[in-house]
Amino acid sequence: MARSTEVERLSPLAPVYRAGPHGNFEDGVGVALSEPRPGSIVQLAAWPGEERRMIDAIRTVAGLALPDGAGGGVTENGRAAFGFAPGKFTVIDEKDGLAAAFAKAVTPAIGTVTDLSHGRTVIRIEGPEAEWVLAKFFAIDLSPPAFPLGAGRSTTHHDIFAQIQRSGPDRFDIHVFRSFARSFWTALCHGCEEVGYEVA
């Protein structure tokens, strides 16, 4: 009998992930926190002048029509993509295998493909107070006109690098290094206490 070589990815949040309501939730829960666990997180970097070809590769491989320019993004059918700097994109899929597919489609003449699936943790915050809570952490405009649905931003909270995508009208997915995920989660929970939060 053949043995599987797949290794189950353990969450770095397990020791601090406490399901249920927390903080001041007497008047309702302002936000919900969760940890989506996508199968693939891939970073793509196009060489100067090759951005259009990289965007075409994203359309071909992931089936996502990404708008031109840094910061534009799209999310649909369990997949998402967003630009976070000129010529740089993050693509997410709930299934494994996205990096291998991009490695076939993106030639060395177009740019590079980096599989970040084992190196990033995604933290989701959702609810009517999500923008307000995240404004405590990130010095960026989180309002819908400045940060529309599907868009992404690259920023930091103290020394913690983060990529943020607005994945719903009042939902944000925050991508952080696995090594910082637990400390960021703990800080985020403290930041949510005032409005009440629920861990799904």
Q: Which domains does the chain have, with CATH numbers?
A: 14-37+119-199 (3.30.1360.120), 40-115 (3.30.70.1520)
Sheet holding 120-126, edge to edge: 20-22, 197-199, 31-34, 120-126, 171-177, 160-168, 152-157
The whole-number pLDDT of residue 7 equals 56
**pLDDT, position 97:** 94
pLDDT of residue 112: 98
pLDDT at 66: 87
In this prediction, residue 77 carries a pLDDT of: 85
pLDDT for the residue 28: 87
- Return the pLDDT at 19: 96
> Which pLDDT score is estimated for 8?
64
Structure tokens belonging to residue 144: 């819908």
Predicted pLDDT at 10: 82
**pLDDT reported for residue 158:** 83
With tokens 């060395």, the residue in question is 108
Whole-model pTM: value is 0.90
- pLDDT mean by block of 10 residues, the chain; 200 residues: 58 94 90 96 97 95 83 87 92 95 97 96 97 96 94 89 95 96 96 96
Instruction: For residue 31, give the nearest of 111, 104, 107, 130 by alpha carbon.
Output: 130
Mapped onto helix, strand or coil, the DSSP state of residue 12 is: coil
